[in-house]
Amino acid sequence: MREGLLIVLSGPSGVGKGTVCKALRRMMPELVYSVSATTRAPRAGEADGVDYYFKTREQFQEMIDRGLLLEYAEYVGNLYGTPREPVERTIAEGKDIILEIDVKGALQVKRNYPQGVFIFLLPPSLDELRQRISGRGTETPSVIDTRMSEASREISMISEYDYAVVNDEIEAACRRIQSIIIAEHCRRDRVVREYAGLMPLIQKA
Which pLDDT score is estimated for 194?
77
Q: What is the pLDDT of residues 21-57, one digit of tens each?
A: 999 999 999 999 999 999 999 999 999 999 999 999 9
Residue 67, pLDDT > 80, answer yes
Judge if 73 and 16 occupy the same domain: no
Which of 57, 76, 95 is where one domain is finished? 95
pLDDT for 199 equals: 59
3-state helix/strand/coil string of 103-130: HHHHHHHHHHCCCCEEEEEECCCHHHHH
| CATH label of the domain that carries residue 59 | 3.30.63.10
Q: Which domain holds residue 63?
A: 34-95
Reported as a single tens digit per residue, the pLDDT across 141-166 is 998 999 899 999 999 999 999 999 99
β-strands 117-122, 6-10 pairing: parallel
Residue 49: phi and psi, rounded to 5, are 85, -10
How many Cβ atoms are within 10 Å of 3's Cβ, its own excluded? 16
| Domain shared by 90 and 101, yes or no | no
Q: What is the pTM of this model?
A: 0.88
- Rounded to whole angstroms, the Cα distance separating 205 from 14 reads 53
Query: How far apart are the C-alpha atoms of 78 and 82, rounded to whole Å?
Result: 14
Give how far Cα 134 sits from Cα of 31, 96, 141, 172, Å.
32, 34, 8, 23
Q: What is the average pLDDT value for the chain, to the nearest integer?
A: 93
Query: Residue 203 has what pLDDT?
Result: 56
Q: Which of 95, 128, 146 is the last residue of a domain?
A: 95
Same domain membership, residue 117 and residue 40? no
Question: What is the pLDDT at residue 204?
Answer: 55
Clarify whether residues 42 and 140 are in a common domain: no
78-83 vs 97-101, strand pairing mode: unpaired
pLDDT confidence bin for 201, thresholds 50/70/90: low
Taking the mean position of all CA atoms in its chain, how far away is CA 51?
A: 16
User: Do 56 and 110 sit in the same domain of this protein?
Assistant: no
Per-residue pLDDT tens digits for 80-98: 999 999 999 999 999 999 9
**CB contact at 8 A, 82 and 72:** yes
